[in-house]
Amino acid sequence: MRTSTLFNSVLAVVLIAATACITNQENSKPAASDKFLGLSDIHFNPFYDPSLIRDLIKTDAASWDTVFAKSSIKDDYGYYGWSGQFWDTGYPLFSSTLAAVKAANPNPEFITINGDFLAHNFEPTFQSTAGTTDLKALQDFTVKTMDYIVGAISKTFPGTPIFPTLGNNDAFCGDYEIRTPGSFLSRTAPLFLKNLHGNVDKTAFNKTYNDGGYFVASNPKNPNHKIISLNTVMLSPKHYRRTDFCGSVPDSTISRANADAQFTWLENQLKSAKTNNHKVWLMYHIPPGFDSWSTNSHNKGLPTSQCQNTVPSSFYDLDYNAKYLKLVKRYSSVIAAQLGGHTHMDNFMVINGDSNPESFVHIQPSITPINGNNPGFIEYTFDNSAVLKNYEVHGFNNVETVTSPDWKAEYTFSKVYGENELTAGSLTRIYKNFLTDTLARERYIEYYVVEDSANVAIDPADWKYYYCAFGNQTVKQYNKCVCNMSN
């Protein structure tokens, strides 16, 4: 009897110790990882088959698939550049994209869309195709197109939160002409709010989105992780300076007041996140820093001896750019990632990377192939501390020549670059390695356009304009880099 009692006592001690050991092991496990899908620059073109326009106008957006099914255009998936009515993303490419995204991950935690839902030249094309200059008809069709795009994504991923941001083509009044506030915002607010599935404060969303096209949401997996969607179109030097379809262009003081209000709001959000020990992702369409493609175009042929006279093309007004960089520097401890679009290429930049890396921007490829790229989207992996751990790019190869969809996984970040997470430090190591590792640089250039078959290449003579945009977001820094690389 005493032996049995002793045995039971020992067994109890062993079980307690084992339980404690298991508990400690569980507590020491690395943070669990989840995945989300990133799409950008869809640029949906409902005019790809002009014969459908009358039916589209009179049909609810929820039933547009039945209209598109009538088209005789079945296997034109896209063209590099402009080709008659076949520019941007017609229904064949859009529907194949949804199928590919679903196949890549049928159950993502959420989906981000980094702006430019609508096709280029949407407004004049509607007028010429529909045969009307009626402003109300244009606006109704624009809202219906937005409803169709978001509705199709929501139908493919029922119940999945969709976090949107607006691009320069998302407006009633033309490219870069979004009104803040304005009827485009008030008419699209219910559509976006519905598909955020409760991950925002409804009152706050309606206030900031209707006023300026920006809002803050919570990661559905972690309320301490905030996703801030910004309207960076209003920071562009092209804002309110393009062709207008609304009859008048607002005074520049109005645009500046709206931009200043967004900056004030953003700083308050970042300050709150810092106080409450939250992490933040910033998502937007137009990134900060410099447009390497445009800079190259404007400075091509500049003599090496005049490198200090390089004029980099800034995505933002230079004063807005400086203001934004100052905010990022001040709150870099809470900004875990930034997600952008606009360029249509698979790219990244590191804020202040050439001197003191503070934050990074991952720029997502587009669905439209109009800039000579192949269509692409990204599946990201993140952990519960809001760190982006990895990503995989999926691309549609040879989009201009194929007669059936050719989507496939192109590459995985960790395998190609040998880093286990996306940070300002890891991305700085990657781009600085391009200086000495020719194969790494060539691989980056291949992935830049999504699949090597795309109709874009970076000339080695122009590489300095692209390289210097990785880590330099002020004119002084950028020109210093260009001169160093020119010697």
Q: Mind listing the pLDDT tens digit for each residue in 192-232? A: 999 999 999 999 999 999 999 999 999 999 999 999 999 99
Look at residue 5 in the predicted model and tell me its pLDDT.
45
The structure's pTM equals: 0.92
pLDDT of residue 487: 81
- Looking at residue 260, its amino acid is D
pLDDT of amino acid 85: 61
Give every CB contact of residue 309 below 8 A, 6+ residues apart in sequence: 302, 479
As a whole number, the mean pLDDT across the chain is: 91
Residue 245 pLDDT: 79
CA R_g for the chain:
24
- How far apart are alpha carbons 479 and 307 in whole angstroms? 7
**Binning pLDDT at 50, 70 and 90, where does residue 42 land?**
very high
CB 56 within 8 A of CB 64: yes
Superfamily classification of domain 36-486: Metallo-dependent phosphatases (3.60.21.10)
Which residue shows structure tokens 């519905």?
A: 194
Does residue 191 have a pLDDT over 70? yes
CA distance 391 to 443: 16
Top-confidence residue, 83 or 126: 126
Which residue's structure tokens are 């073109």? 45
228: tokens are 């801030």
Indicate if the pLDDT at residue 91 is higher than 50: yes
CA–CA distance, 319 with 441 (Å, rounded to integer): 32
The C-alpha atoms of residue 138 and residue 122 are separated, in whole angstroms, by 9
Residue range 5-10: average pLDDT? 42
CA nearest neighbour of 41 among 345, 447, 457: 345
Q: Residue 359: its pLDDT value, please?
A: 98
- Quote the CA–CA distance of 81 and 88 in Å, as a whole number: 8
- Beta-carbon contacts of 188 under 8 Å, excluding residues fewer than 6 positions away, are 143, 146
DSSP string, 255-320: HHHHHHHHHHHHHHHHHHHHHTT-EEEEE-SS-SSB-HHHHHHHHTT--GGGGGG----BSS-HHH
Q: Exposed, middle or buried, 201 (CB in 10 Å: 0-12/13-18/19+)?
A: middle
* Contacts with 175 (C-beta within 8 Å, 6 or more apart), sequence order: 120, 168, 169, 238, 242, 243
For the ranges 78-87, 301-310, 379-388, the lowest mean pLDDT is seen at 78-87
Does pLDDT of 251 surpass 80?
A: no
Residue 98 above 80 pLDDT? yes
Instruction: Report how far apart the first and last C-alpha atoms of the chain are (Å, whole number).
Output: 90
412-448 pLDDT tens trace: 999 999 999 999 999 999 999 999 999 999 999 999 9
Between residues 193 and 249, the one the model is more confident about: 193
User: In the structure, what pLDDT confidence band is assigned to residue 18 with cuts at 50, 70 and 90?
Assistant: very low
What local confidence, expressed as pLDDT, does residue 461 receive? 87
Q: Is pLDDT at 323 greater than 50 in this prediction? A: yes
In which band, very low, low, confident or very high, does the pLDDT at 83 lie, cut at 50, 70 and 90?
low
The predicted structure's pLDDT at residue 38? 98
pLDDT confidence tier of residue 247, bands split at 50, 70 and 90 = confident
Q: What token pair was written down for 468?
A: 């210097």
Which residue reads 């390089």 in tokens?
Answer: 310
- At 420, is the secondary structure helix, strand, or coil? coil
Look at residue 7 and tell me whether its pLDDT is greater than 60. Answer: no
* Strand arrangement, sheet containing 359-363: 215-219, 222-229, 279-283, 335-340, 359-363, 347-351
State residue 154's pLDDT score: 98
**In this prediction, what percent of the chain has a pLDDT beyond 70?**
91
Per DSSP, the residues of 150-206 read HHHHHHHSTT--EEE---TT-SSSSTT---SS-HHHHHHHHHHHHHTTT-S-HHHHH
Structure confidence at residue 262 (pLDDT): 98
Confidence tier at 2 by pLDDT (50, 70, 90)? very low
For residue 286, pLDDT beyond 70: yes
